[in-house]
Amino acid sequence: MTGPLVADTNETEQTLALKVGTVALTFAAGWAAQKLVTFIWAKATGHDAPKDLDDEEVGIVSAVTFAAVAAGVGVLARRFAGKEAKRFVSRLASRAS
């Protein structure tokens, strides 16, 4: 059976696969990014990464710096995950056709 219904179903499956893939890769990339930032922070500063940025014992410079670095790495990880998910779904779609 071919026609518009099959094409719509195929596009819907690709869109769903893209969304699921993006979510999975985003979680994985976020986890890896968090581990990487925590490790590098500990090696660079000699202190553990701040767990609670509102803690009075964490200096304001440390809190802001850590937050900025973590956010920047998080954005890079999210963009990487979205890009890789699209590439993966495109590859799967080309194999299916």
Q: With 0.75 as the threshold, say if the pTM is over it.
A: no
| pLDDT top residue among 30 and 4 | 30
What residue spans define the domains of the chain? 19-96
pLDDT score of 2: 52
Q: Rounded to 5 degrees, what are φ and ψ at 70?
A: -65, -40
Residue 92 to residue 97: CA distance in whole angstroms:
9
Task: Give 8's pLDDT tier (boundaries 50, 70, 90).
Answer: low
The CA R_g of the chain, rounded to the nearest whole Å, is 20
pLDDT one-digit tens code per residue, 50-95: 888 788 888 888 888 988 999 999 898 888 888 887 787 778 777 7
